[in-house]
Amino acid sequence: MKDFNLENLVRPNILQLKPYSSARDEYEGNTGVFLDANENPFGNLNRYPDPYQKEVKEQLSTIKRIPVSQIFLGNGSDEVIDLAFRIFCTPGRDKALVFTPTYGMYEVSANINNIELLQLPLNKDFQIDKNAVIPVLKDENLKLIFICSPNNPTGNSIENIDFILENFNGIVFVDEAYIDFSPRKSWSEKLDQYPNLIISQTFSKARGLAAVRVGIAYSSPEIIALFNKTKPPYNVSQLNQEAALVALVDEKKYHDEIQAILKEKVRVEKALAKLPVVKNIYPSDANFILAEVTEADKIYNNLVEQKIITRNRNNIVANCIRVTIGTPQENDQLIAALKAYKNR
Ligand code: PMP
């Protein structure tokens, strides 16, 4: 981070990009005779939405104590991930880095954007191996590092993020999709300290709006400006902005649901730990648990036959299934099904 130079990191075509200027960019008021955007004058959803989602950002800004100029909203955090590749990595030349096992979209997004993805395995505690990462940080084509914390699918929080931030001159993207369930503080508190830090969060998990598709990035005003100029003009629909705003106003519902999910998580962990088919439960700071079982494929299929859908992670963490914490009734069904399961 000592030699951090944002301009050197940005793709030249993005640096030079003259962004699309939408009709709504030029006049900010809500009232007036709007004959500028070729809309149908009749109806309720006939107008293009606010391209910069001011109301949602102002509410978020108050809650998180982060200035509006440091907030970006996307079509889910998946859009934020994709934009990071498009802004910082030149296809066919630059590289990104992830620590595996982790969230699969980093790899898909890298492939879509024709960016080489380096993959370093997490150690046996699912933590970053400092010695393995040090030489990789010096690769001058490495522009972007994704760190998912709490990590999906392992559930644990990742240590040594400050070490990466301090020793890497490129962008460090900390994916905090599950941070609302974690006792740890968000890295968004360190934005002033690290100009190379991007944090993503989402309305899809604790805020209960996966169907709505709203993701968040927090970063420096300069990086947020790059996101704003690269995104499609109306990337968050009017309906999505309204739903996000409603969710932000109801802070009690948000906190109550998190508490209910965390309480259930403790119950499910205890119940599963007693079952002969469960060999290990990894510690989780998220709303899911990774469980090592006796025979993941068979158990997963047996649960599917009973219409209980978990995530079979056997191909990336041996014999593990990932279980999202559901309602008490749903969790009871899972526990009962696993109790009744006999190894074949
Ligand atoms: N990051 C992580 C770690 C995730 O697990 C997910 C969704 N499963 C996402 C990002 C994407 O979330 P969304 O696009 O719904 O905001």
Asked whether residue 222 carries a pLDDT value surpassing 80, the answer given is: yes
Ligand 1 contact via 285 beta carbon (within 6 Å): no
CA of 243 from ligand 1 middle (Å) equals 18
CA of 137 from ligand 1 middle (Å) equals 25
pLDDT of residue 22: 80
How many C-beta neighbours within 10 Å does residue 210 have?
12
Ligand 1 contact via 148 beta carbon (within 6 Å): yes
CA of 78 from ligand 1 middle (Å) equals 6
Atom 1 (ligand 1) nearest CA: 177
Query: Closest ligand 1 atom, CA of 213?
Result: 15
Asked whether residue 316 carries a pLDDT value surpassing 80, the answer given is: yes
- Ligand 1 pocket test target in 75, 80, 103 with most atoms within 8 Å of CB: 103
pLDDT of residue 344: 62
Each residue of 151-163: pLDDT tens digit? 999 999 999 999 9
CA of 85 from ligand 1 middle (Å) equals 16
Q: What is the DSSP annotation of 149-190?
A: SSPTTT-PPPS-HHHHHHH-SSEEEEE-TTGGG-SSPPGGGG
Asked whether residue 236 carries a pLDDT value surpassing 80, the answer given is: yes
pLDDT of residue 26: 76
pLDDT of residue 313: 98
- The end-to-end CA distance of the chain, in Å, is 54
Beta bridge partners of 117: 96
How many percent of the chain have pLDDT more than 70? 99
CA of 40 from ligand 1 middle (Å) equals 35
The amino acid occupying position 298 is K
Ligand 1 contact via 149 beta carbon (within 6 Å): no
- The rounded distance, in Å, linking the Cα atoms of 154 and 139 is 27
Q: What is the DSSP annotation of 177-227?
A: TTGGG-SSPPGGGGTTT-TTEEEEEESSSTTS-TTT--EEEE--HHHHHHH
How many residues does the structure list for the chain?
344
CA of 193 from ligand 1 middle (Å) equals 26
pLDDT of residue 119: 98
pLDDT of residue 259: 98
- What predicted TM-score, i.e. pTM, was given to this entire model? 0.97
- Residue 228 has, within 13 A of its CA and on its CB side, a CA count of 21
CA of 177 from ligand 1 middle (Å) equals 6
How many C-beta neighbours within 10 Å does residue 224 have?
19
* Higher-scoring residue by pLDDT: 343, 244: 244
Atom 6 (ligand 1) nearest CA: 177
pLDDT of residue 54: 96
pLDDT of residue 30: 80
| pLDDT, average across residues 40-54 | 95
- Ligand 1 pocket test target in 180, 201, 204, 285 with most atoms within 8 Å of CB: 204
Ligand 1 contact via 309 beta carbon (within 6 Å): no
Ligand 1 contact via 100 beta carbon (within 6 Å): no
pLDDT of residue 2: 76
